[in-house]
Amino acid sequence: MSLDSIPRSAYNEDHEAFRRTVRQFMENEIAPNAAKWQEEKIVPKSIWPKAGELGMLCPTVPEEYGGLGLDFGYNAIVDEESSYYGGAATGFSLQSDIVVNYLVSYGSEEQKKHWLPKLVSGEVVTAIAMTEPGTGSDLQSMTTTAKKDGNHYVINGSKTYITNGQNADLILVCAKTDTEVQPAWKGVSIILVEAEREGFKRGRNLDKIGMDEADTSELFFEDVRVPMTNCLGEEGKGFIYLMSELPQERLSIAVSAMASTQKAFDETVAFVKERKAFGKTVFDFQNTKFVLADIKAKLQVGWAHLDWALNRHYKKELTAEEGAAAKLWHTELQWEVMDKCLQLHGGAGYMNEYAIAKMWRGARVTRIFGGTSEIMKELIGRSL
């Protein structure tokens, strides 16, 4: 079963040729290992260079820094195929769609030359540490500090729910370099912290409801000294940088959610056509067809909207509110469809041996990470 490659307005022939490469990688490298990684609760770092060799990591990085200099559509194809076919949350999208943009947009020439080729090749795995145990989505209230000491910062604090936290070689740490300035967001900076720095410790690989294979961690910083040249961009501009990059992060989540939604639908259609009840297939009941018809119509709308958003983003026209709306709509649709599809599986849907159970569990977080649905509504509401 593969993602139906109907003509998409967001993609051209080069995109689709790339999709075939990505799909083969998913078939050969990811799908056969997904169950094992789920049990081990981590995707091995050894898979990253293999993806890097095929240009699947950070394809938008300019050629002068080792990348391919392509548009975000190539990222989106990796996201779609990973969510539809791969069967494992690899962490690739965090690096390609989110972290790398900060380095490209705000990094110094020295930082870009040193790190970007390694991100593209998969030699280095990255994470971005925003969330803290007591703050959640309220980034302005973070308590992690980076205090100046000579030509160094000394970082103290803790982060949680950090994707790629166990595997990361480089962490972009959001910290307060000024705890007195008001409003508080003006004191936030982004500091590059190498994992080998003394005082940096990884905590638990957190036990989650779903996406078991995705390492999601606690991180601790105890008097971690890094040179001031590790500051990303300008000191005190971190919050502005975070807000500037959120439309792409939220579009990335919407892309993955949409592909996951399509997968749930396709799996369910196949299931109900095989499962018998009361002398006929579950598909033959009118209720089943009505539920699936309703989902099919929404999928049609969803793919059209996603292509619209992607085309807007290619032209750098996707606004923060539009990115928030895309994440809100597609993740809410994902949950609606997952729940209906699990219901159509009956008791089998509650069994982890069926794909729908794993997808249903994994889908629950998409309305939380990258900003909750409630925060998305707040952001959209402010623009009215």
Give the whole-angstrom CA distance, residue 83 versus residue 257.
Answer: 8
Six token digits for residue 34 = 């997904």
Question: Alpha carbon 253 to chain centroid distance?
Answer: 6
User: Cα 212–215–217 angle (5° rounding)?
Assistant: 120
- What is the distance between the alpha carbons of residues 58 and 70, in angstroms, rounded to a whole number? 9
Q: Residue 103's Cα: distance from chain center in Å?
A: 17
Q: Which residue has the tokens 């989106």?
A: 76
At 181, list the tokens.
Answer: 């300035």
Q: How far is CA 102 from CA 10, 35, 105, 108, 192, in A?
A: 24, 33, 5, 11, 11
First to last CA, the chain: 42
Q: What CA–CA distance (Å, rounded) separates 349 from 364? A: 15
> Is 39 annotated as catalytic?
no
Please tell me the distance from the alpha carbon of residue 159 to that of residue 135, in angstroms, as a whole number: 10
Is there a cis peptide before residue 183, judged by omega within 30 degrees of 0?
Answer: yes
Dihedral sign, Cα of residue 12, residue 318, residue 263, residue 76: positive
Going 48 to 50 to 55 to 56, the CA torsion angle's sign is negative
Q: Which of 218, 235, 249, 322 is catalytic?
A: 249
Q: How far is CA 124 from the centre of its chain?
A: 17
Whole-angstrom CA distances from 270 to 176, 266, 311, 339 are 52, 6, 32, 17
| β-strand partners of 174 | 190
The alpha carbon dihedral of 252, 255, 256, 258 has a sign of: positive
Active site residues per annotation: 249
